[in-house]
Chain A
Amino acid sequence: MPASFDQSLWIFRSGQRSGVALVATLTVTALSLAGCSSLVASVGSKPGVIEAVGAENQYANVISQIGGKYVAVTSVLDNPNIDPHNFEASPSVAAEVGRAELIVQNGVGYDGFMNSIESASPNAKRKVIIAQKVLGLSNDTSNPHLWYDPRTMPTVAQALARDFAALEPTHRNYFQARLKAFDVSLQPWFNAIAAFKSKYAGTAVAVTEPVGNYLLQAMGARVLTPFVFQADIMNGVDPAPEDITLENGFLTTHEAKVFCYNEQVVDSLTSSLKATAKAAGVPVVGIYETMPTPGYDYQTWMMAEVAAIQAAVVHQTSTEVL
């Protein structure tokens, strides 16, 4: 391409009246560009393999657990250092989503960027599973971190098995078997939640933002932090000084037994709260917004979070990084 560009410059510079040559050069350039883009489009899409996209890597993980060898899955949000609330989609993401036959996203405005990409590249065949929709939650659900709710992934996995079977009917039994295996593999997590709840229900917890709240509620923990404060941190606006004082008080007076800290949504205030918790001897537990990689799948991640909270309550140990 640089060669043809130089050529066209040379035509301009030489002052020759060769409009035909110029048009020819530009055409060559355009053709080589077109060649490049068709090359990009032909990458991937092996026959018999469904291309799928998980808006967050925890959903991508469940897609691959259900789809097995018949799915090639990519995730949009998988960097644990990025705050997903502030994510902006890039052209390469748009291309992946455009090709995908199956998409899983969270909903509740958490990954609204997916909707705009999908409508930009319409595909009648494409199946889109929205966790919010399959759970029947309304748009004004205040806490969008649905994957921490133990009810979410079984429901999403069910929808996945159904849609995979619709896309590849010959492998229906394969997807059903994988769904069953997935449900079985979640059982230890459910057991751990129930075991915690039976022993430590009502444990008071302070949080920076609502990321792990569904799990904490399932475990029977009591979240002390006012939701307005959590929402302010989540949305990146300043909380009121009254709420900051209140939150600090939960830690310094040891009213909170655990301080749950979102490792992926950090600012000077949450850092100083973490320091306060440490100084006061309140154990800190890092709650992740997306699945930590590598080395975790959805089940082991959730187990690790429950284990970290339990260790904080029982042994007063902090688990800041999974």
Chain B
Amino acid sequence: MRFLFEPGFFSSAPVRTALVIGALAAVISAVVGVATVVRGQSFAGHALTDVATAGGSGAFFTGISPLVGFIGAGVFGAGAMDVIGMERLRSRDIATGIVLSVATGFAALFLFLDASKSATTGATQQILFGSIFTVNSSIVPFVIGLSVLTLIVMGLIYRPLLLSSLSGELASARGIKLRRVGLLFMLTLAIAVGVSSIAIGSVLSTALLIGPAATSLRLTTNMRNAISVSIALGVVATWLGVLLAYDSYYWFPSSRGLPVSFFIVALILLAYVVSGVPAIRRFAAQSAPGRRHMQLASRSVVAKRASEAT
């Protein structure tokens, strides 16, 4: 036990808060992330992290909780991308690119102001790369509320969202309001990015959003399994990351722990790489419930997801 968990791990208040916030961030990022990858909106997800950076650093400057800034700016950015044009694929990329660059410019401004004009310290590190161990435990109920809200909205729009991702015409024919579904999804994306920005920083929140989802979509062939595996991967990577960061305090004589974000992202990358090994994929395909053989061709995967969605 001592080998795995260094002394004081379970009784440490910062660790407990980190485990709770980390798990919540991992769960909603996984659920939203799978839809993001299926919809091909990873770039939009990344752009929202830049918007969140601007919001977080701006909030830091004005003395508001960075979480409010992360989410407020994310929701605003999602709306902006929707207005500029999210649905047509070509204008979608352009809209994302414009919002991304403007947001990054504002982030540069706010981080400069944080550092040079206010009595704050460590803004850059905290906003960009997260500082999960210094999160005030008083925000936990707020984060829980946001997570529940995100999961409810995702539950409501899950089927129309999936169908509209696969065939817009079919979805429209069935009376689905594409624009409304798309906007609601972008809002959940903004919340997921905001919460994981608190955990591992705004720049790295993409990792928690895309990594576990992309890995699980390699290993599974139906959406329900993909979401379950994605949640499991995200939570395990986050908790293991917190544990390793805690233990790293004892690795060096200098008694200086390494950042959590690094460990979480490294573990996610490791999972993604391992999931690409053919033997692992075969094993996953065989052990998946209700699957007789693996559908390697993406076309059949899409067909399967479409039939699920209808």
Q: Contact residues of A with B, CB < 8 Å?
A: 80-83, 85-88, 226, 228, 232-245, 248, 263-269, 271-272
Given A264-B119, A267-B134, 19 further pairs, Cβ under 8 A = A81-B119, A82-B118, A86-B115, A86-B116, A88-B116, A228-B254, A232-B256, A236-B123, A238-B122, A240-B133, A240-B249, A241-B15, A241-B246, A245-B12, A245-B14, A267-B126, A268-B136, A269-B134, A272-B134
Which residue of A241, A264, A268 contacts B12 across the interface (Cβ within 8 Å)? A241
Residues of B within 8 A of A271 (CB): 136
Asked if B33 is an interface residue, CB under 8 A from chain A, the answer is no
Asked if B122 and A82 sit within 8 Å, CB to CB, the answer is no
Give min CB distance, A233 to chain B, whole Å.
7
Asked if B255 and A268 sit within 8 Å, CB to CB, the answer is no
Given contacts A228-B255, A240-B255, A245-B12, contact A82 B134 (CB under 8 A): no
> Residues 208-251 of chain B: 1 if any A CB is under 8 Å from the residue's CB, otherwise 0?
00000000000000000000000000000000000001100100
Asked if A265 and B116 sit within 8 Å, CB to CB, the answer is no
Asked if B124 and A241 sit within 8 Å, CB to CB, the answer is no
Please report the C-alpha to C-alpha distance between residue A30 and residue B120 in the assembled complex, in whole angstroms.
42
Please report the C-alpha to C-alpha distance between residue A245 and residue B17 in the assembled complex, in whole angstroms.
12
Give min CB distance, B44 to chain A, whole Å.
29
- Pick from B18, B66, B121, B254 the residue with the most CB of A within 10 Å: B121
Residues of A within 8 A of B119 (CB): 80-83, 263-266
Given contacts A88-B116, A241-B15, contact A265 B121 (CB under 8 A): yes
> Residues 256-282 of chain B: 1 if any A CB is under 8 Å from the residue's CB, otherwise 0?
110100000000000000000000000
Given contacts A228-B254, A267-B126, contact A233 B121 (CB under 8 A): yes
Give min CB distance, A100 to chain B, whole Å.
22
> Residues 111-142 of chain B: 1 if any A CB is under 8 Å from the residue's CB, otherwise 0?
00001111111111110000101111000000
**Cβ < 8 Å to A, chain B residues 78-136:** 115-126, 131, 133-136
Residues of A within 8 A of B148 (CB): none
Which residue of A82, A86, A235, A238 contacts B126 across the interface (Cβ within 8 Å)? A238
Residues of A within 8 A of B134 (CB): 238-239, 244, 267-269, 272
- Among residues of A, the one whose C-beta sits closest to the C-beta of B135 is A268
Given contacts A83-B120, A228-B255, contact A237 B249 (CB under 8 A): no
Give min CB distance, B239 to chain A, whole Å.
14
Give min CB distance, A140 to chain B, whole Å.
15
Asked if B152 is an interface residue, CB under 8 A from chain A, the answer is no
Question: Can you report 28 A-B residue pairs in the complex whose CB atoms are below 8 A from each other?
Answer: A80-B119, A81-B118, A82-B117, A83-B118, A83-B119, A83-B121, A86-B116, A86-B121, A228-B254, A228-B256, A233-B121, A236-B125, A238-B125, A238-B131, A240-B249, A240-B255, A241-B14, A241-B15, A241-B246, A242-B255, A243-B255, A244-B14, A244-B134, A245-B8, A266-B119, A267-B120, A269-B131, A272-B134
Residues of A within 8 A of B115 (CB): 83, 86, 88
Asked if B170 is an interface residue, CB under 8 A from chain A, the answer is no
Give min CB distance, B25 to chain A, whole Å.
17
Asked if B125 and A237 sit within 8 Å, CB to CB, the answer is yes
Please report the C-alpha to C-alpha distance between residue A240 and residue B115 in the assembled complex, in whole angstroms.
22
Asked if B13 is an interface residue, CB under 8 A from chain A, the answer is yes
Residues of A within 8 A of B12 (CB): 241-242, 244-245
- Among residues of A, the one whose C-beta sits closest to the C-beta of B134 is A269
Give min CB distance, A194 to chain B, whole Å.
32
Residues of A within 8 A of B126 (CB): 238, 267-268
Residues of B within 8 A of A238 (CB): 122, 125-126, 131, 133-134, 259
Residues of B within 8 A of A239 (CB): 133-134
- Among residues of A, the one whose C-beta sits closest to the C-beta of B7 is A242
Residues of A within 8 A of B254 (CB): 228
- Pick from A81, A236, A271 the residue with the most CB of B within 10 Å: A236
Please report the C-alpha to C-alpha distance between residue A233 and residue B145 in the assembled complex, in whole angstroms.
31
Please report the C-alpha to C-alpha distance between residue A165 and residue B262 in the assembled complex, in whole angstroms.
57
- Among residues of A, the one whose C-beta sits closest to the C-beta of B254 is A228
- Pick from A87, A88, A233, A238 the residue with the most CB of B within 10 Å: A238
- Among residues of B, the one whose C-beta sits closest to the C-beta of A246 is B8
Please report the C-alpha to C-alpha distance between residue A267 and residue B65 in the assembled complex, in whole angstroms.
11
Give min CB distance, A247 to chain B, whole Å.
10
Please report the C-alpha to C-alpha distance between residue A87 and residue B114 in the assembled complex, in whole angstroms.
11
Give min CB distance, B99 to chain A, whole Å.
28
Please report the C-alpha to C-alpha distance between residue A272 and residue B135 in the assembled complex, in whole angstroms.
9
Give min CB distance, A74 to chain B, whole Å.
19
Give min CB distance, B170 to chain A, whole Å.
48
Asked if B257 and A241 sit within 8 Å, CB to CB, the answer is yes
Give min CB distance, B157 to chain A, whole Å.
34
**Cβ < 8 Å to A, chain B residues 167-192:** none
Residues of B within 8 A of A226 (CB): 255
- Among residues of A, the one whose C-beta sits closest to the C-beta of B255 is A228
Please report the C-alpha to C-alpha distance between residue A239 and residue B254 in the assembled complex, in whole angstroms.
12
Give min CB distance, B109 to chain A, whole Å.
14
Please report the C-alpha to C-alpha distance between residue A88 and residue B116 in the assembled complex, in whole angstroms.
6
Give min CB distance, A229 to chain B, whole Å.
9
Residues of A within 8 A of B246 (CB): 240-242
Give min CB distance, B158 to chain A, whole Å.
35
Asked if A266 and B125 sit within 8 Å, CB to CB, the answer is no
Residues of B within 8 A of A268 (CB): 66, 126, 131, 134-136
Give min CB distance, B199 to chain A, whole Å.
13
Please report the C-alpha to C-alpha distance between residue A313 and residue B125 in the assembled complex, in whole angstroms.
35
Please report the C-alpha to C-alpha distance between residue A245 and residue B126 in the assembled complex, in whole angstroms.
19
Please report the C-alpha to C-alpha distance between residue A301 and residue B14 in the assembled complex, in whole angstroms.
36
Asked if A237 and B122 sit within 8 Å, CB to CB, the answer is yes
- Among residues of A, the one whose C-beta sits closest to the C-beta of B118 is A81
Please report the C-alpha to C-alpha distance between residue A240 and residue B244 in the assembled complex, in whole angstroms.
12
Asked if A266 and B133 sit within 8 Å, CB to CB, the answer is no
- Among residues of B, the one whose C-beta sits closest to the C-beta of A227 is B255
